[in-house]
């Protein structure tokens, strides 16, 4: 093979359909040809304008009758909690958390449970179009291992909480640094990070120790923030200030901080988050189900704060379908604002793609389909009754599509699901293993 022929050889070519790039100009290309090589997008051509091409590929995928778009990015979840799906529904958040979830976790969370639960959750996400997730949990190395085995891109955050007792700051630093060191160079798809549960469940010493370790390693740090009225009341009683003010005063808010939920915010707190370049993860379905409230997302966006979209864990959602999350996010804020123009379909789709990437610090790698970026791509089958006719691609994806419409998922240039078949996960086996875990949980 000549050098020219070698340079023109791609690993994958996607052709046909309609490409939604989610680039800065939101370019839409009909009948594209997309070349993927060495895990990255090598080129994008418009067949009708550019004509034929001299490239060949080992794998040619047809996207005729489909939408090609960036994979969805779930900016906040707790994957192993899939094992608790439906365990304690229809309860207030504090009751649900302290009287049901925390006790169940203390009894049943093991390395085996975390790995198997994460594998099932990852299968659900890949099948519904998610190609990147940001997780926070215990035994997070098992979540990282599941991500590695399944081929998904993952920001894996080792979690810290002061229940039932606090851990010495020096031990926290050691745990955090060993976790980051273990996973920092394992795979380009695995990005280690750190997380604290919340300002009310972690001491200032724990929060500062974890953030200091995150800063030393230059990794993402996330924390649940102002999720409930009760949390705000607890913080005012304990520290005489709001959760946001508390975190600002102990110097943990910066451009590498992802604040999750952010429901009960004062206007000046939003300004603090903006001035410190804090990013926000919005989890509307979990917030609705637990009656935690509705985050002021339209105002956060108006103020210039980057907001990504997340599902939270399956114990409080109860699924991981980001298409459903997009539809909920769009409609929830319309009714809350009594304004049908807020949170339009384009805005919400960007939250689930490029804005999610920005929230995780990965906007240079993923979130849009452009030459040089990693090839994290999904193909959505639009030859479905509920997706016809196609007046607006964005509206159909946000208001009508579901995760079940995704037929192909490519992550880092590797096909991990095609024609609804997972290629790297033994789904029947992992479902049976999680059912066995659930029987033990249900019997206690």
pLDDT at 3 (0 to 100): 38
List all residues 6 or more positions away from 196 whose beta carbon is below 8 Å from its beta carbon: 159, 160, 161, 202, 206, 207, 210, 211, 221, 222, 223
Q: Looking at residues 288-297, what average pLDDT do you find?
A: 96
Lookup result for tokens 């022929």: 5
Helix (H) / strand (E) element for 196: namely strand 190-196
Domain 3-69+376-419 falls in which CATH fold? Urease, subunit C; domain 1 (2.30.40)
pLDDT at 4 (0 to 100): 39
Query: What angle do helix axes 111-127 and 427-442 make, rounded to 10 degrees?
Result: 130
Residue pLDDT, tens place only, 249-271:
999 999 999 999 999 999 999 99
CA atoms within 13 A on the CB side of 291: 9
DSSP per residue over 136-157, as a string? Answer: EESSHHHHHHHHHHHT-EEEEE
Give the phi and the psi of residue 131 in degrees, each rounded to 5.
Answer: -115, -15
Residue pLDDT, tens place only, 100-148:
998 998 889 999 999 999 999 999 999 999 999 999 999 999 999 999 9
Give 170's pLDDT tier (boundaries 50, 70, 90).
confident
72-359 CATH choice from 3.20.20.70, 3.20.20.140, 2.60.40.10, 3.40.50.1970: 3.20.20.140
Residue 18 has pLDDT above 90, yes or no: yes
Average pLDDT over all residues of the chain: 94
Residue 215: how many other CB atoms lie within 10 Å? 15
Pull the structure tokens for residue 206: 């724990």
Span(s) in the chain for CATH 2.30.40.10: 3-69+376-419
Span(s) in the chain for CATH 3.20.20.140: 72-359
Residue 366: how many other CB atoms lie within 10 Å? 25
What residue ranges in 237-369 does DSSP mark as E strands?
257-261, 279-282, 307-309
> Dihedral (C-alpha) 357, 359, 360, 364: value to the nearest 10 degrees?
40
Residue pLDDT, tens place only, 176-219:
999 999 999 999 999 999 999 999 999 999 999 999 999 999 99
Give the phi and the psi of residue 105 in degrees, each rounded to 5.
Answer: -65, -40
CA distance 183 to 44: 33
Give 5's pLDDT tier (boundaries 50, 70, 90).
very low
Residue 31: how many other CB atoms lie within 10 Å? 16
Q: How far apart are the first and last CA of the chain?
A: 64
CA distance 286 to 293: 10
CA distance 316 to 356: 21
Residue 8 has pLDDT above 80, yes or no: no
Q: Looking at residues 316-326, what average pLDDT do you find?
A: 97
Residue pLDDT, tens place only, 379-433:
999 999 999 999 999 999 999 999 999 999 999 999 999 999 999 999 999 999 9
Strand order in the sheet with 153-160: 72-77, 130-137, 153-160, 190-196, 221-225, 257-261, 279-282, 307-309
Q: What is the 3-state secondary structure (H, E, C) of 30-86?
A: ECEEEEEECCEEEEEEEHHHHCCCCCEEEEEEECCCEEEEECEEEEEECHHHHHHCC
Of 403, 428, 367, 426, the C-alpha closest to 20 is: 367
């Amino acid at each position: 093979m000549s050098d020219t022929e070698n340079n023109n050889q791609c690993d994958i070519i996607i052709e046909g359909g309609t490409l939604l790039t989610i680039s800065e100009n939101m370019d839409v290309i009909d009948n594209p040809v997309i070349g993927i090589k060495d895990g990255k997008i090598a080129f994008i051509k418009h067949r009708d304008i550019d004509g034929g091409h001299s490239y060949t590929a080992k794998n040619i995928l047809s996207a005729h009758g489909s939408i090609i778009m960036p994979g969805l990015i779930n900016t906040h979840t707790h994957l192993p909690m899939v094992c608790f799906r439906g365990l304690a529904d229809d309860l207030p958040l504090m009751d649900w958390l302290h009287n049901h979830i925390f006790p169940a976790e203390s009894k049943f969370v093991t390395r085996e449970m975390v790995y198997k639960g994460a594998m099932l959750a990852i299968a659900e996400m890949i099948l519904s179009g998610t190609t990147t997730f940001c997780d926070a949990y215990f035994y997070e190395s098992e979540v990282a291992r599941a991500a590695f085995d399944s081929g998904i891109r993952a920001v894996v955050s080792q979690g810290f909480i002061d229940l039932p007792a606090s851990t010495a700051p020096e031990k926290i630093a050691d745990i955090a640094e060993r976790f980051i060191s273990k996973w920092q160079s394992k795979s380009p798809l695995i990005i280690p990070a750190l997380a604290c549960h919340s300002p009310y469940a972690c001491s200032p010493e724990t929060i500062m120790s974890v953030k200091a370790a995150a800063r030393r390693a230059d990794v993402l740090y996330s924390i649940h923030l102002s999720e409930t009225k009760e949390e705000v009341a607890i913080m005012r009683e304990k520290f005489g200030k709001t959760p946001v003010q508390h975190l600002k005063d102990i110097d943990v808010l910066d451009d590498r901080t992802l604040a999750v939920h952010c429901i009960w915010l004062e206007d000046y707190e939003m300004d603090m988050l903006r001035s410190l370049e804090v990013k926000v993860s919005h989890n509307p379905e979990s917030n609705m189900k637990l009656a935690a409230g509705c985050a002021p997302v339209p105002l956060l966006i108006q103020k210039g704060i980057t907001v990504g979209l997340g599902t939270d864990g399956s114990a409080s959602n109860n699924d991981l379908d980001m298409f459903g999350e997009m539809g909920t996010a769009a409609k929830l804020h319309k009714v809350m604002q009594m304004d049908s123009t807020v949170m339009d379909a384009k805005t919400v789709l960007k939250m689930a793609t490029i804005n999610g990437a920005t929230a995780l610090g990965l906007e240079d790698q993923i979130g849009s389909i452009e030459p040089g970026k990693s090839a994290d791509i999904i193909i959505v089958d639009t030859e479905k009754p509920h997706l016809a006719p196609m007046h607006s691609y964005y509206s159909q994806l946000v208001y009508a599509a579901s995760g079940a419409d995704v037929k192909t998922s490519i992550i880092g240039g590797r096909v991990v699901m095609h024609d609804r078949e997972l290629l790297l996960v033994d789904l029947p086996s992992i479902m049976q293993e999680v059912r066995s875990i659930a029987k033990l949980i249900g019997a206690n």
